[in-house]
Amino acid sequence: MTLACGIDVGGTKVAGGVVDADGVILEELRVESPAEDVEAMGEAIASLVTELASRHRIETVGVGAAGYVDRNRAMVLFAPNLAWRRFDLKADLEARVDLPVVIENDANAAAWGEFRFGAGEDVDDLLLVTVGTGVGGGVVLDGELHRGAFGVGAEIGHMRVVPDGILCGCGNHGCFEQYASGSALVREARNAAGSGSPRARDLVERAGGDATAITGPLITEAARDGDGFALEQLAELGRWLGEGIASLTAILDPAVVVIGGGVSEAEDLLLDPIRAAFLAQLAGRGHRPVLEIRKAELGNRAGLIGAADLARR
């Protein structure tokens, strides 16, 4: 049985796992991410691989990195929350672990994981939309991961949806993730609560009387308990997501859209508004097949599993 090591690198943690050909994780380890130190990051990844390889016959390593990865799946061109800048991560890691290494964008890796072993394994065309601090994306077309001419495609969070809108961390204004992310959900709820809206009173009480302590999970918890204000906030987030997905569908025409990321834990409280807004804005509605919008199945392990499978392939 061919085993691969999948690594998922983020700004706060590095997860590593041994993955078999069926997408099953046989063992998993996690360490804190030394995000601002290139040398320490290389050492952290190598130590995970080395420890796992001491107990499993690993043949290849796939790394999902939160940043722009070149078409050769070797160099991290830019990672907004990590220290890598035009850094040949493939060469660095291969020298450390003496195994073949493949580098991939983390959202691309997650999309591949869901396509191969999760919510999209029954289709050939998939769009993954991850809703967390920002909005990420990955695209599979005709059974192949779509990466673009330079390897940096599917950055759907930076699709411009509001001219001269909210300033984004990328430097542009009005990006999709400024309106359709978990950060946007929390920002709008805190703003409404901070302005003294009586509808937000119960949510503020849940936050200990401090509007700035409102979090995404707290909003989801309140919505599950029937809080009208929290339900409204999720519905508004769902509207932004559904309308954006309708625009992306006009270009990509996927069979399935998979919603992942932390905010997807709200399940139908978020998915139902997404579906409604999508149907309302879908071009040619009534005259074309309608795709399914599904919740991701692999959770936060999708990137690890996908990176390992891409390395094996």
Claim to verify: residue 58 and residue 142 sit in the same structural domain? no
Claim to verify: residue 248 and residue 176 sit in the same structural domain? yes
Domain membership flag for residue 58 = yes
Q: How far apart are CA 21 and CA 305, in angstroms?
A: 10
The pLDDT of 112-137, averaged and rounded, is 96
Domain membership flag for residue 198 = yes
Looking at the DSSP bridge assignments, the partners of residue 148 are: none
Claim to verify: residue 99 and residue 133 sit in the same structural domain? no
Domain hosting 248: range is 124-296
Claim to verify: residue 285 and residue 253 sit in the same structural domain? yes
* CATH code, 240: 3.30.420.40
Domain membership flag for residue 118 = no
Among 170, 139, 171, CA closest to 153: 139
Claim to verify: residue 87 and residue 131 sit in the same structural domain? no
How confident is residue 179, by pLDDT bands cut at 50, 70 and 90? very high
pLDDT number for residue 87: 96
Average pLDDT, the chain: 95
pLDDT number for residue 219: 96
Q: What is the pLDDT of residues 256-305, one digit of tens each?
A: 999 999 999 999 999 999 999 999 999 998 899 999 999 999 999 999 99
Domain membership flag for residue 119 = no
Claim to verify: residue 102 and residue 244 sit in the same structural domain? no
Residue 128, C-beta contacts closer than 8 angstroms, at least 6 positions apart = 107, 110, 111, 114, 120, 136, 137, 138, 139, 257, 258, 260, 296
Claim to verify: residue 305 and residue 291 sit in the same structural domain? no
How confident is residue 169, by pLDDT bands cut at 50, 70 and 90? confident
Claim to verify: residue 104 and residue 195 sit in the same structural domain? no
Domain membership flag for residue 148 = yes
Number of domains forming the structure of the chain: 2
The pLDDT of 205-223, averaged and rounded, is 95
Q: How far apart are CA 250 and CA 271, in angstroms?
A: 20
The pLDDT of 180-197, averaged and rounded, is 94
Pairing of strands 75-78, 13-19: unpaired
The pLDDT of 217-230, averaged and rounded, is 96
Q: What is the pLDDT of residues 12-30, one digit of tens each?
A: 889 999 999 999 999 999 9
Claim to verify: residue 136 and residue 17 sit in the same structural domain? no
Claim to verify: residue 201 and residue 305 sit in the same structural domain? no
Domain membership flag for residue 117 = no
pLDDT number for residue 107: 94
The pLDDT of 36-60, averaged and rounded, is 95
Claim to verify: residue 81 and residue 13 sit in the same structural domain? yes
Domain membership flag for residue 93 = yes
Claim to verify: residue 186 and residue 236 sit in the same structural domain? yes
Domain membership flag for residue 272 = yes
What's the distance, CA 62 to chain centroid?
Answer: 17
Name the pTM for this structure: 0.93
